[in-house]
Amino acid sequence: MSESKAMILGSSGPTLTPDEIALYRDERPWGFILFARNCIEPAQITDLVAAMRDSVGQPDAPVLIDQEGGRVQRIRPPTIERYPSAAVLGELYRQDRAKGLRAAWLMSRLHAFDLMKFGINVDCLPVLDVPVQGASNVIGDRAYGYDPQAVAEMGKAAAEGLKAGGMLPVMKHMPGHGRGMADSHHELPVVTASRAELEAHDFLPFAAMKDELMAMSAHIVFTAIDPNEPATISGKVIEEIVRGHIGFDGLLMSDDTSMNALKGTIGERAARIVGGGCDIVLHCNGVMEEMKAVVKEAIPLAGEALRRAKAVEAAFGPGDGADEDVIRPEFHGLLATS
């Protein structure tokens, strides 16, 4: 069987189209990502995830989702209950550190109960970005707070909760989106802080969690390191900061190729992501013409990227056997006392 290509793709709706099935079959993405448009009701989500895996002949291919809680929760009531934002959990941590850490773990463990029943095995969580006053609200209450050490501790608890449930986390947005004064979905944020400031603040939570297996890049320019290119496509940022200073040796995926912080055509963006040193090109919106442009530039997984992808595949597990009927009331009880 030929090796998967170094890309994660979305799809356009709640069921795969014949063209999507053909593209996936022929081009073999390593994984898939779901959004609200893909998730209508339980049986349909289960069928879609199974169809994605069937199209590439991989029964446990990674299927990702952004299920953070707060405003970034792709599957919502009535299918899955509404969860609080990271900022709510962070406030609990500031009141009572032990309760905050427990709540972060419990909420992730509940995400695993919710998502694994559909076959979804990767949650793009935790958000390790540390905002500064005046930064764009694109992160905002998605962050655990303004203290890097607290963000690191809460992020670690969240990641451990997912892993306890048999899922894997994706740290985002490496090496840090919190200082961005613009929304990278629409324009390119430029951060002018010194390297010393960045290492003491923005990069710290990622360094604390460098041994996790997956991370997502930030579409942000750090002028102190590379004044010309955003981190996602900057060989300098990836080599010096992500692999060097932070010490992350896991699988680095780009943030979404279609976000307008990146310039050029979709194909040009994908080519620069590959060239900059990201292991995986992420494309989310399911637009067929864009996906065709991405697959032309994505390369087969090989070398270090393949080694990192195999480490991810080997880490999926059955979970800890915890009882949802115990976990869920405990979580609600913690929040009720905050």
By annotation, the residues acting in catalysis are 185, 255
Question: For residue 68, what is the enclosing H or E element?
Answer: strand 67-69
Q: CA-to-CA distance for 124 and 169, rounded, in angstroms?
A: 6
Cα dihedral 219, 225, 228, 233 in deg (nearest 10): -40
Q: CA-to-CA distance for 209 and 204, rounded, in angstroms?
A: 9
Token output for 157: 């608890």
* Geometric angle at alpha carbon 199, from 238 and 306, rounded to 5°: 25
Residue 97, number of CB atoms within 10 A of its CB: 13
On the CB side of 136, how many CA atoms lie within 13 Å of its CA? 19
Ordered DSSP codes for 70-129? TTEESS-TTTSPPPPPHHHHHHHHHH-HHHHHHHHHHHHHHHHHHHHTTT--EE---B--
CB within 8 A of 141, min separation 6: which ones?
70, 71, 85, 86, 87, 88
Contact at 8 Å (CB) between 220 and 180?
yes
**Angle formed by the axes of helices 148-164 and 97-116, to 10°?**
40
Question: 27 in helix, strand or coil?
Answer: helix
Q: CA-to-CA distance for 22 and 292, rounded, in angstroms?
A: 11
